[in-house]
Amino acid sequence: MIDIHVVILAAGKGTRMKSAMPKVLHLLAGRPIIEHVLATVDRLRATSTTLVVGHGSDQVKAALAGRQGLQYVIQSPQLGTGHALLQAEPVLKGMKGVVLLLYGDVPLLEPGTLLRLLETHRETGAALTVLTTKLADPYGYGRIVRDNSGRVERIVEERDASAEQRGIAEINSGIYALSLDSLFGHLHDLATDNSQDEYYLTDLVAIYRQKRLLVESLRLESADELRGVNSRQDLAELSRTVRQRKNRELMIDGVTLEDPATSYVDVAVTVGADTVLGPAVRLEGHTVIGERCRIHAGCRLTDAVVKDDVVVLDHSVVVDSMIGPGATVGPMAHIRPKSVIGRSARVGNFVELKKTSLGEGSKASHLAYLGDATVGDGVNVGAGTITCNYDGEKKHQTVIEDDVFIGSDSQLIAPVTIGKGAYVGAGSSISEDVPAGALAIARGRQVVKPEWATDRKAKRDAGKGDR
C-alpha cells in the first residue's frame, strides 16, 4: 500500500458565516463540521493527517485537543489555497506517497469516493488527480478546461474565466490526490498573477502540463458529496442531508421513525431494532438506545444510555444518564446528569432527577425533585416529594433504603437517611434519620373547631340584616 498523507485546508475566514467562531467548528447535524471530515479520514488509514489552520487556529486546536495523531501547521496570512498547502512542506518533507488534499468545510465526502480517487491516481500513474463533477449552476467554482483530446488542461477560477469558460459545467471540487515526489518542487513555482493576488493551487494543473507530468481526473455523477459550507443556509441544508443519511441507516437497522423529517439523530447515536421514535425527537451526542423502546414526541436525549423496553413519554429531557430495562420516564420528566434509573422503575410527569439513582421497581410518579439521592429498590416516592439537598453552600446526600414509602408532599432535608421499609407520613419535613421499619410523621397536628365556619356565616348574615 502507498502512504497516504492527508492535508486538510481550514485556515480561511469563512466571511459569509458572519461568525466570531471559526467556520469549521460550527455544528453540522450536532457535530463540528471538521469532525465530519476527520471521521471520513479515520476510515482511510492515512500515514499522517495535517490540518492547515489560520483564522481562529487556537479555537480549532482547543476543540480538537482530544484527537490523537493530528498535526497542525499555521498559515498566516492566508494567501490562497496553493500557499496553504505550501505550509505543510516542513512536516511532509522527505515523505513518500501521495497527498490527499481535503477542505475542512467540505463534510459530506464518503470514504469510498476518496478511495476511488486514490485508486484512479495510482492506476494511471498520475502526478495530480482532481475530483470533478458537473453542475447545472457552476457559478463561483473553478472550471475544468479540457484540451481537444479531453485531457484536463487547466483550471480557471470564476473571476479569471472568459465568458466561454464560464459556460463550462464541469467544476473543480478542490479535492486532489498529489504525488509527493513532484509536489513541493513545483508548488514553489506558483505565482499570484490573478484577480485575487493569491497563490492558486489550481494553477498547479497548468504547470504540471507544461512539465509533461500526468494530470488525471475523476468525475462524480452526483455533486452532493462535494458540497461545501459557506453560509448558514449551506449549514442548514447539509445538516439535513446528514440527518437524512442517518435516518436511512436507522430504518435499515430496524428502527421506526414516525416522522423522519423531524427526527434529529446525531451521527454517533445508536438505536436498537424495533425501537420507535416519535416526531421531533432529538438524540444527541453518544446516546445509546436499546431494542423495543418507545421514545415519544418532543423528547431530547443527550449522551443517554437507554436499555431495552424503555418508554420515554412526550417532552422529556434526559442528559448524561442511564435508564434501566423496562423503565418508564415522563411525560415532561427532567433527568439531569449522572442519574441512574433502575430496571422497571417509573419516573412520572414533572419529576426532576439530578445525580440520583433510583432502584429496581421504584416509583416517583408525580411532581418530585430528587437531587443527590440514592434510592433503593421497591421504593414509592409520593407526589410532590422534595429532597432539600442544598443549604446555600453545599450539596448533601439523601439515602432512601429499599421498600421505603414516602408520603406525598414530604421534604427530606439532607443529609438524611430513611431506613429500609420505613414510612414517612404525607406532608412531613424530615430532618433526622428515620430507622428501618419505623413511621415518621413530622407535620403540625390537625386542629378541628366544630361549627366554626357555620357560626361565622351566621354572624355575617345577621350583620347584613342590621343595615
Positions touching Ca ion (CB under 5 A) are: 228
CB of 103 to ligand UD1, least distance (A): 4
Residue type, 318: V
Q: Which of ligand UD1, Ca ion, none does residue 11 bind to, with CB < 5 to 8 Å depending on kind?
A: ligand UD1
Q: Taking Cα atoms as reference points, which of 288, 266, 280 lies closest to residue 314? A: 280
User: Which member of 172, 247, 302, 356 binds ligand UD1 (CB under 6 A)?
Assistant: 172
Q: Does residue 228 bind ligand UD1 (CB under 6 A)? A: yes
The cell numbers describing 102, all together, are: 481535503
- Quick one: which of 174, 290, 326, 376 contacts ligand UD1 (CB under 6 A)? 174
Our CB check for ligand UD1 shows the closer of 156 and 358 to be 156
Residue 155 lies near ligand UD1 (rule: CB under 6 A): yes
CA distance 44 to 136: 31
Binding piece for ligand UD1, criterion CB under 6 A, among 121-129, 169-177, 348-356, 431-439: 169-177
Beta bridge partners of residue 354, listed in sequence order = 371
**Closer residue to ligand UD1, CB minimum distance, 200 or 264:** 200
Using an 8 Å Cβ cutoff, are 99 and 175 in contact?
Answer: no
CB of 168 to ligand UD1, least distance (A): 12
Maximum CA extent, the chain = 119
Q: Please identify which residue in 5, 35, 97, 157 interacts with ligand UD1, judged by CB under 6 A.
A: 157
Are 243 and 263 within 8 A, CB to CB?
Answer: yes
Here the cell at position 325 is: 430495562
Select from Ca ion, ligand UD1, none the partner in contact with residue 200, using the beta carbon and a kind-dependent cut-off of 5 to 8 Å: ligand UD1
CB-based contacts of 350: which residues, under 8 Å, 6+ apart? Answer: 332, 333, 366, 367
CA distance 71 to 65: 11
Question: Is 37 among the residues that bind ligand UD1 (CB under 6 A)?
Answer: no
Residue 359, CB half-sphere, CA atoms under 13 Å: how many?
A: 15
Q: CA angle at residue 398 from 397 to 404, to 5 degrees? A: 160
| CA–CA separation, 310 and 292 (whole Å) | 7
**Grid coordinates belonging to 251:** 430504518
Confirm or reject binding of residue 79 to ligand UD1 (CB under 6 A): yes
Residue 133 binds which one of ligand UD1, Ca ion, none, with CB within 5 to 8 A depending on kind? none
Give the residue with the Cβ less far from Ca ion, 105 or 284: 105
Closer to Ca ion by Cβ: residue 107 or 228: 228
- CB contact at 8 A, 134 and 223: yes
In the complex with Ca ion, the residue whose CB is nearer, 24 or 114, is 24
Q: Which does 278 bind (CB under 5 to 8 A by kind): Ca ion, ligand UD1, none?
A: none
Check residue 12 for interaction with ligand UD1 (CB under 6 A).
Answer: yes
Q: Is 366 a catalytic residue?
A: yes
β-pair type (143-146, 152-156):
antiparallel
Nearer of residues 97 and 142 to Ca ion, judged by Cβ? 142
Q: Going along 70-125, which residue ranges are E strands? A: 70-74, 98-103
Residue 431 near residue 406 (C-beta atoms within 8 A): no
The single residue of 286, 315, 366, 396 carrying the catalytic annotation is 366
What's the one-letter identity of residue 131? L
- Nearest approach in angstroms of CB 60 to ligand UD1 is 11
Q: Is 32 in the site for ligand UD1 (CB under 6 A)?
A: no
**What are residue 45's phi and psi, to 5 degrees?**
55, 55
**Window 397 to 456, contacts with ligand UD1 (CB under 6 A):** none
Q: 457 CB contacts (<8 Å, ≥6 apart)? A: none
Residue 120 vs 231, nearer CB to Ca ion: 231
Calculate the CA dihedral of residues 237, 242, 247, 252 and round it to 10 degrees. 130
Asked if residue 265 lies in contact with residue 285, where contact means CB atoms within 8 angstroms, the answer is no
Interaction partner, residue 103 (Ca ion, ligand UD1, none; CB < 5-8 Å by kind): ligand UD1
75: contact with ligand UD1 by CB under 6 A: yes
Total of chain residues touching ligand UD1, rule CB under 6 A: 27
CB of 243 to Ca ion, least distance (A): 23
Q: What is the DSSP letter of 169?
A: -
Rounded to the nearest whole angstrom, what is the least distance from the CB of residue 160 to ligand UD1 in the complex? 9
CB 176 within 8 A of CB 131: yes
Rank residues 47 and 231 by Cβ distance to Ca ion and give the closer one: 231
Measured distance CA(38)–CA(343) in Å, rounded: 38
Q: How far is the CB of 81 from Ca ion (least distance, A)?
A: 9
| DSSP structure class, residue 126 | -
| Interacting residue with ligand UD1 among 6, 9, 127, 183 (CB under 6 A) | 9
Q: Which residue is nearest to ligand UD1 (CB)?
A: 142
| Least distance (Å) between residue 252 CB and ligand UD1 | 31
83 binds ligand UD1 (CB under 6 A): yes
Residues of this chain that interact with ligand UD1 (CB under 6 A) are 9-12, 52, 75, 78-81, 83-84, 103-105, 141-142, 155, 157, 171-174, 200-202, 228
**What positions carry a catalytic annotation?**
366
